[in-house]
């Protein structure tokens, strides 16, 4: 089966998020399943659709550094999209398509299998973070699996509250089926579903300036910020940390395309936006994603 492949040049955050919502709406209207690879110019800090902003993000610092702010249509936690240090993907498909079907966690697993296959082509031994319940079930104890599942639900932090600034960072931990290399998270993803169609967005780190990541978030003290930075050093990394020669974004996009095609049994055919999609993209920029009413909403 052929899905549409779209590769766009670097765009501001509000433009990128408006386009992804456009592709979601297009899918709801019967448009083709689509995979997009893109980047951010200028750099941007994005927050999940329901994530607190002012209480968790140092908005003044972010803007002083020349980054923009945007609220994503997907959930999850904040990501610092640091210009050339990252490649981002989005995927839109019907939730009943067997290549991505199942609940959110199962669709994560299927899509992540393609991402892992793509990273393998780059010489990276990536793994999917195993849900606690799956690990416990593999150990052979149904009771342990049930307890692990309950604990996972209780400890889930998709949009942490005001008292948890460190938990505001997407790459703070690898959740179900997210991608790690040597135990450190290198791809963070988030998903939303609407009208029988899913939109998954994911950040692929090539490099991670952990000082800037820690600085972008609010902490009760400078000492707490330094502890958070040390913590992130153990939890997250860029792909280039594991390779002798730095990767380019286009190399990573080609590898991930091949991995998704192989794992999901599909062909990604280069495509273009329709006139209706272009018009809707512009409308969503002006009416939603470039507005403080959306980005700064409580």
Look at phi and psi of residue 281 and say left if phi exceeds 0, alpha if psi is from -120 to 50, else beta.
alpha
CA 218 to CA 58: how far, in whole Å? 5
- Using CA atoms, how far residue 42 sits from 82, 101, 144, in Å, is 8, 35, 47
170 among known catalytic residues: yes
| Catalytic option among 6, 168, 170, 208 | 170
Q: In what helix (H) or strand (E) does residue 201 lie, and over which residues does it extend?
A: strand 197-205
6 three-class SS: strand
CA 62 to CA 42: how far, in whole Å? 12
Residue 265, preceding bond cis, omega within 30 degrees?
no
**Active site positions, annotated:** 170
């Amino acid at each position: 089966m052929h899905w549409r492949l779209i590769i766009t040049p670097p765009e501001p955050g509000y433009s990128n998020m408006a386009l992804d919502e456009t592709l979601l709406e297009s899918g709801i209207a019967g448009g083709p399943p689509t995979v997009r690879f893109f980047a951010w110019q200028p750099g941007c800090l994005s927050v999940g659709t329901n994530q607190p902003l002012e209480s968790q993000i140092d908005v003044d610092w972010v803007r002083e550094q020349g980054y923009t702010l945007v609220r994503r249509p997907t959930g999850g936690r904040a990501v610092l999209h640091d210009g050339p240090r990252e490649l981002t993907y989005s995927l839109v498909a019907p939730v009943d398509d067997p290549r991505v079907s199942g609940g959110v966690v199962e669709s994560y697993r299927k899509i992540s299998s393609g991402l892992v296959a793509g990273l393998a082509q780059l010489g990276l031994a990536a793994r999917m973070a195993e849900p606690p319940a799956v690990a416990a079930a593999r150990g052979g104890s149904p009771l342990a699996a049930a307890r692990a599942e309950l604990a996972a639900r209780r400890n889930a932090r998709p949009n942490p509250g005001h008292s948890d600034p460190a938990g505001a960072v997407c790459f703070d931990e690898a959740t179900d089926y997210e991608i790690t290399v040597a135990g450190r998270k290198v791809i963070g993803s988030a998903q939303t579903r609407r009208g029988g169609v899913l939109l998954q967005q994911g950040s692929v780190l090539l490099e991670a300036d952990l000082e800037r990541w820690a600085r972008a978030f609010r902490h009760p003290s400078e000492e707490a910020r330094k502890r958070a930075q040390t913590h992130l050093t153990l939890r997250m990394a860029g792909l280039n940390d594991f390779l002798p020669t730095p990767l380019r974004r286009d190399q990573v996009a080609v590898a991930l395309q091949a991995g998704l095609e192989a794992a999901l049994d599909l062909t990604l055919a280069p495509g273009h936006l329709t006139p209706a999609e272009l018009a809707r993209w512009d409308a969503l920029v002006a009416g939603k994603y470039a507005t403080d009413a959306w980005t700064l909403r409580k």
